[in-house]
Chain A
Amino acid sequence: MTNHSSIFNLRFIHVWRRNLMVWRKLALPSMLGNLADPMLYMLGLGYGLGSMLPQMQGVSYVAFLAGGVVCSSTMFTASFEAMYSAFSRMHVQRTWDAIINAPLTLDDVVLGELVWAASKSLLSGCAVLLVAAALGLVGSALALLIIPVILLTGLVFAGLGLIITALSPSYDFFMYYFTLAITPMMLLCGVFFPPEQLPFAAQAIAQLLPLSHAVALSRPLMNGMPPDHAWLHVLVLALYAGVSYGVARHLLRKRILK
């Protein structure tokens, strides 16, 4: 089987467009969800809890929180799409089987799904950014640089999600990943409080997790400051994205083309 190298062609766009066409049918409720969820976090935690807290790193708690919620929201959207939705298309509806009977390869499908999940999470991350801007929490035009950070974060969690999809016998399996990976990241990686508050061991673990690096970029950008060690964080995220995509593609080839 040749044509493994989807990078050099644009056939994956067909898969992406198929998913877009389905999404458009439910675009309104989907976008409302993208807005409502982070809004609740920011209003509830940001103003509710935040009113009892002093300033965090020189900004109000809600402004501090906004930089974290952009990333966690992106993580959730990309993960859900790459797991539950992609699994439905792969295993339940057999949409992937239909596609690879046409002149597309499984690699085209996997890349299409990866980019699609990242695109959807881009939308959801940008919705948070928009809400933050509307609430006056954005420090400066530097915040626009959060958009590529969202895209990169989306690619990371789309890739990781597709690995879990490749290994999953059923929907129930995804709960392990949420309990063992997504929730710990949500709590350890600085979304709600600075990771420096954690014991040293927990901080060390958090430094290995991709969400920490996404937050380390987006929070200062949200508050109008250039991030420290920006390229290091970008590099870690890019590595996570590249390696997880490669692993997911390998596992899915083994699962589907056996």
Chain B
Amino acid sequence: MTHLAVNGLRKSYDGREVVAGIDFELVPGECFGLLGPNGAGKTTTLRLTLGLTQCDSGNITLLDYNVATHAREARTRVGVVPQLDNLDPDFTVRENLLVYGRYFGMTRADVERRIPELLDYAGLATRADTRIQTLSGGMKRRLTLARALINDPDLLFLDEPTTGLDPQARHVIWERLRQLTLRGKTLLLTTHFMEEAERLCHRIAIMDHGRIISIGTPRELIAANIEPEVVEVYGDGADEWATTSGSQLAERCETHGETVFCYARDAHALVANLADHGNVRYLHRRANLEDVFLKLTGRELRD
């Protein structure tokens, strides 16, 4: 059983293939991350799966509905947190939930019953009658998340849910999202924050140029694509050290800006060698998702 199955999905705009044949599945209760640089096709993939844009070819099954013919019906069991806040600025917190519930065919009484729980979840219990304009960015995001839960959906779509938030607000959102996975909700999340993906997602698909270039658990992705240890070397003499010692002792060395990244299965020799070069500064750490991401999608700027 799957909550979402995407097969051979393609979409072009003006001859440019934005989604170039992707396949993935979401099993109930998992948090699945779509990771990719700007313009990789993440948001288009979400729009296609929700049936808001028609695909050129491929099949999408969303909660047992064929999206090509029954997207609207499928959306009755889906919640969406969009990239840009689109709360209703003319309404209070409570009114936003009330009006949104109506779009799902809920009666006023149905929604009123759900509101206290949702406000608690969003940490806005004391703000029910506040106008939207006076809420902080973090509060608005939490309300958007609560609004997406109004119909008690089985599956949630979250498009860059923490973009533009400060670290405190981001941690609160992460904690709320983990509560949802603990309650058995299925989550489909797009992000370009590696930390977010690594913390929240059970499985991740890395997307670039409309394709999924790697898919698996965070650990699998790291193990499959990159050496387990990294030494970042920077400061005066880093370049010179890299050409003389680094390139011999590490499996792989890459220079980016003023930092040399040395990847190794075992970094002991590297670290020991660096200890003898007092003027060079370094950081020894485990390889993470960001290393995988940068290796797979390259380091050039994306605009």
Task: List the interface of chain A (C-beta within 8 A of B).
Answer: 1-3, 14, 17-18, 21-22, 25, 93-95, 97-105, 257-258
For this complex, 22 residue pairs linking A to B, each with C-beta atoms less than 8 Å apart, are A1-B71, A14-B102, A18-B99, A18-B102, A21-B91, A22-B88, A22-B90, A25-B90, A94-B84, A97-B82, A98-B88, A98-B100, A101-B50, A101-B82, A102-B103, A103-B73, A103-B103, A103-B105, A257-B52, A257-B53, A257-B54, A258-B13
A1 surroundings in chain B (CB, below 8 A) = 51, 54, 68, 71
A95 surroundings in chain B (CB, below 8 A) = 86, 88
* B99, A103: Cβ atoms closer than 8 Å: no
| Contacts between the two chains (Cβ within 8 Å), count | 67
A14 surroundings in chain B (CB, below 8 A) = 102-103
B53 surroundings in chain A (CB, below 8 A) = 257-258
Question: A101 to B87, alpha carbons, bound, how many Å?
Answer: 12
Given known pairs A98-B82, A101-B80, the reply for A21 and B99 (CB within 8 Å) is yes
B83 to chain A, nearest CB (A): 10
Interface residue B76 (Cβ < 8 Å from any Cβ of A): yes
Question: A93 to B90, alpha carbons, bound, how many Å?
Answer: 10
A158 to chain B, nearest CB (A): 20
B64 to chain A, nearest CB (A): 15
Task: List the interface of chain B (C-beta within 8 A of A).
Answer: 13, 50-54, 68-73, 75-76, 80, 82, 84-91, 95, 99-100, 102-105, 151
Given known pairs A1-B54, A21-B91, A22-B91, the reply for A105 and B82 (CB within 8 Å) is no
* A99, B103: Cβ atoms closer than 8 Å: yes
Given known pairs A1-B51, A97-B82, the reply for A102 and B75 (CB within 8 Å) is yes
A250 to chain B, nearest CB (A): 15
B13 to chain A, nearest CB (A): 8
Given A21-B95, A25-B90, A93-B86, 5 extra CB contacts under 8 A: A1-B71, A21-B99, A95-B86, A98-B86, A257-B53
Question: A22 to B86, alpha carbons, bound, how many Å?
Answer: 15
A94 surroundings in chain B (CB, below 8 A) = 82, 84-86
A54 to chain B, nearest CB (A): 49
Question: A100 to B82, alpha carbons, bound, how many Å?
Answer: 11
A97 surroundings in chain B (CB, below 8 A) = 82, 84, 86
Closest 5 CB pairs of A and B: A94-B86, A102-B103, A101-B80, A98-B86, A22-B90
* B86, A103: Cβ atoms closer than 8 Å: no
B96 to A, closest residue via Cβ = A98
B52 surroundings in chain A (CB, below 8 A) = 100-101, 257
Most buried by B among A22, A94, A102: A102
B85 surroundings in chain A (CB, below 8 A) = 94
* B95, A104: Cβ atoms closer than 8 Å: no
A93 surroundings in chain B (CB, below 8 A) = 86, 88-89
Question: A3 to B102, alpha carbons, bound, how many Å?
Answer: 19
B72 surroundings in chain A (CB, below 8 A) = 2-3, 103-105
B129 to chain A, nearest CB (A): 13
A2 surroundings in chain B (CB, below 8 A) = 69-70, 72
Question: A21 to B91, alpha carbons, bound, how many Å?
Answer: 9
Question: A14 to B87, alpha carbons, bound, how many Å?
Answer: 16
Question: A100 to B71, alpha carbons, bound, how many Å?
Answer: 11
Question: A25 to B132, alpha carbons, bound, how many Å?
Answer: 15
Question: A137 to B198, alpha carbons, bound, how many Å?
Answer: 74
B86 surroundings in chain A (CB, below 8 A) = 93-95, 97-98
B98 to A, closest residue via Cβ = A21
B51 to A, closest residue via Cβ = A1
B71 surroundings in chain A (CB, below 8 A) = 1, 3
Question: A200 to B51, alpha carbons, bound, how many Å?
Answer: 53
A104 surroundings in chain B (CB, below 8 A) = 72, 103
A18 surroundings in chain B (CB, below 8 A) = 88, 99, 102
Question: A94 to B72, alpha carbons, bound, how many Å?
Answer: 19
